[in-house]
Amino acid sequence: MNPHRTALLAGVRDTVPMLVGAAPFGVIFGTLAIASGIPAWAVLALSALVFAGSSQFVAVSLIGSGAALPVIWLTTFVVNLRHALYSASLLPYVRDLPARWRWPLAFWLTDETYAVVEHHLREHGAAQGGVWYWLGSSLAMYLNWQLWTLAGVLLGQSVPGLAGLGLDFAMVATFAAIVAPQLRQYPVLAAAVAAGVVALLARHLPYKLGLMLAALAGVGAGMLAERLAADSTQEAQA
């Protein structure tokens, strides 16, 4: 078999558990968006063009509460800032690729794909079809998200009250599975604790501002912890 195809299929295979976890997430997003009064075509366009589940949920929630556009833009921007950190950590593996590869891979980068691809590249490097592995994982997640968003839209239009069944618990379970293995790293643990504490304390703020503050606190704590760890290493080597 072609080695590129083998690597691509391996990326799809290793992403299957994430696909299962994201399925109810996509369904509940579609139903909540329809319940918020957003037209079906706009819901599907949001998934196709934004492709960032957590920020899509936040956007739908803010739209439903009548938030102003600047608040929606700023909040979703801050929620998605973590993708810049993902990209920075994967950059060493793709810095030599042409833009026709880096642009789509950056667009398709999600939490789930990052968890799968970062582990693979850290273990095997990019030499053995790493970019094709990344592509396989990305395409699997993207097509899966579109499929289940469509299912949610159709169900939301035909089954009243589906959004109240608690399917959004899948979002919590999926993100817990992604984050838990990374907590062995001190900067990641510091970021998670800081974000969790701020999110808890600021949960009553309007327009999901608590989520925005938690994201900023997590990024700041992670960067600070990483710098302190680097300084400690330098002092030990001196």
CA atoms within 13 A on the CB side of 48: 8
Find the distance separating the first CA and the last CA of the chain, reported in whole Å: 51
Pairwise CA distance, residues 164 & 161, whole Å: 6
Pairwise CA distance, residues 118 & 122, whole Å: 6
Q: Is the dihedral of CA 135, 117, 26, 210 positive or negative?
A: negative
Q: What is the per-residue pLDDT across 30-44, written as a single tens digit (0 to 9) for each?
A: 888 887 788 999 999
CA atoms within 13 A on the CB side of 82: 27
Here the tokens at position 174 are: 């999926």
DSSP state of 21: H
Q: What is the per-residue pLDDT across 91-101, written as a single tens digit (0 to 9) for each?
A: 888 888 888 88
Percent of the chain with pLDDT over 90: 15
| pLDDT the model gives residue 178 | 60
Work out the average pLDDT over 1-24.
84
80 CB-contact burial (10 Å; exposed 0-12 / middle 13-18 / buried 19+): middle
| pLDDT the model gives residue 162 | 60
Pairwise CA distance, residues 76 & 78, whole Å: 5
Pairwise CA distance, residues 222 & 202, whole Å: 19
Q: What is the per-residue pLDDT across 35-78, written as a single tens digit (0 to 9) for each?
A: 778 899 999 999 999 888 878 887 887 787 777 788 788 778 87
Give the global pTM.
Answer: 0.71
Positions of E strands within 77-209: none
206: left (phi over 0), alpha (psi -120 to 50) or beta: beta
Pairwise CA distance, residues 95 & 107, whole Å: 16
| pLDDT the model gives residue 175 | 63
Pairwise CA distance, residues 31 & 35, whole Å: 6
Which is higher by pLDDT, 116 or 124?
A: 116
**Given a cut of 60, is residue 168 above it in pLDDT?**
no
Q: Is the dihedral of CA 130, 134, 139, 144 positive or negative?
A: positive
Q: What is the per-residue pLDDT across 178-207, written as a single tens digit (0 to 9) for each?
A: 677 777 778 888 888 998 899 899 888 876
Q: What is the per-residue pLDDT across 121-157, written as a single tens digit (0 to 9) for each?
A: 887 776 667 788 889 999 999 999 999 999 989 987 8
| pLDDT the model gives residue 207 | 61
| pLDDT the model gives residue 66 | 77
Pairwise CA distance, residues 222 & 182, whole Å: 12
- Contact status, residue 157 vs residue 33, Cβ threshold 8 Å: no
